[in-house]
Amino acid sequence: MDRNKKTCLFLLLSVFLSTFVVYNIHAIVPVSDKRLIQVSTGEVFWMAQEEILELARKNHEQGRCGGFMDITEHPRNDVTSLQPFWMVNNLTPSYPETVNPLLAEVSPKLLQESIEKLSAFNTRYYKSDTGDLASQWIRDRILEYGKNNSSVTVELFQHVFKQPSVVAKILGKGPQSDEFVILGAHEDSINLWGNLIDVEDKRAPGADDDASGVATLLETFRVIVESGFQPHRTLV
């Protein structure tokens, strides 16, 4: 495993949380002609599907993944009040005596297998049948890893479009169990090159955007659950 991946896994394992979320970063424009898109604090626009796809394409060309939010079903009138309660400035991994033994259990083989499986779907586009199947596959992996652990829960969160989000938790124990630590990756993929009309059927393996991120979360989840580690806070 290369150094960057080991560092990423080390940081993830050191958080000791218990909430894993695999969500849709391209979850936009379900069926109505226009969607309410927020591009930054205070900047909100009604946009047609073609405009949203073009915005996504330009963001990807600039190396930005996403860069906007569809808030049509959830208007955010109080955006300015939704500020992080606590910002992490020091990224030095904590509790190395606990993290290092877990890091040793990380399987490069399972990481690769997860990436290959997710990339094998023709596309994980949020409106496609295969995007839905990819979500179910992720859920089934979590169910398999957590089948002997009563602290593990997993569900598919349904949207107005076809592909659900996968929400898995490792319930915390103790006085801080009602606090959440969230890890996330986006399960969907999209091919924005060429004609945008047939985007739902175009091949979009998305190995690095973001099958690798989902695979990292799955492996982190597996290692934590199989180690028997019990977090103080709930991981979502």
Closest listed residue to residue 181, CA positions, set 10, 2, 19, 4: 19
d(CA 21, CA 210): 13
pTM of the model: 0.68
Q: What is the mean pLDDT of residues 105-130?
A: 93
Token digits for 154? 């997993």
Of 111, 152, 132, 122, residue with least CA distance to 24: 132
* 77 — pLDDT class (breaks 50, 70, 90): low
Task: Go through the domains of the chain in sequence order and give each one's CATH number.
Answer: 3-28+94-235 (3.40.630.10)
pLDDT, the chain, mean: 78
CA distances from 185 to 25, 148, 218 (A): 8, 25, 10
Q: Where are the alpha helices (DSSP H) in the chain?
A: 3-13, 49-61, 96-103, 108-120, 129-145, 212-227
Single out the residue of 60, 65, 24 nearest to residue 184, CA to CA.
Answer: 24
Q: Which residue has the higher pLDDT, 199 or 178?
A: 178
Q: Are 123 and 201 in contact (CB under 8 A)?
A: yes
Distances (CA, A) of 171 to 21, 116, 165: 14, 30, 19
Q: How far apart are CA 13 and CA 95, in angstroms?
A: 10
Q: Give the pairing type, strands 180-186 and 234-235.
A: parallel
Q: What distance in Å separates the CA atoms of residue 189 and residue 200, rounded to the nearest whole number? A: 10
Banded pLDDT at 1 (limits 50, 70, 90): low
Q: What is the pLDDT of residue 23?
A: 42
pLDDT value of position 18: 34
Q: Classify residue 81 by burial, with Cβ atoms within 10 Å: 0-12, 13-18, 19+.
A: exposed
24 pLDDT higher than 60: no
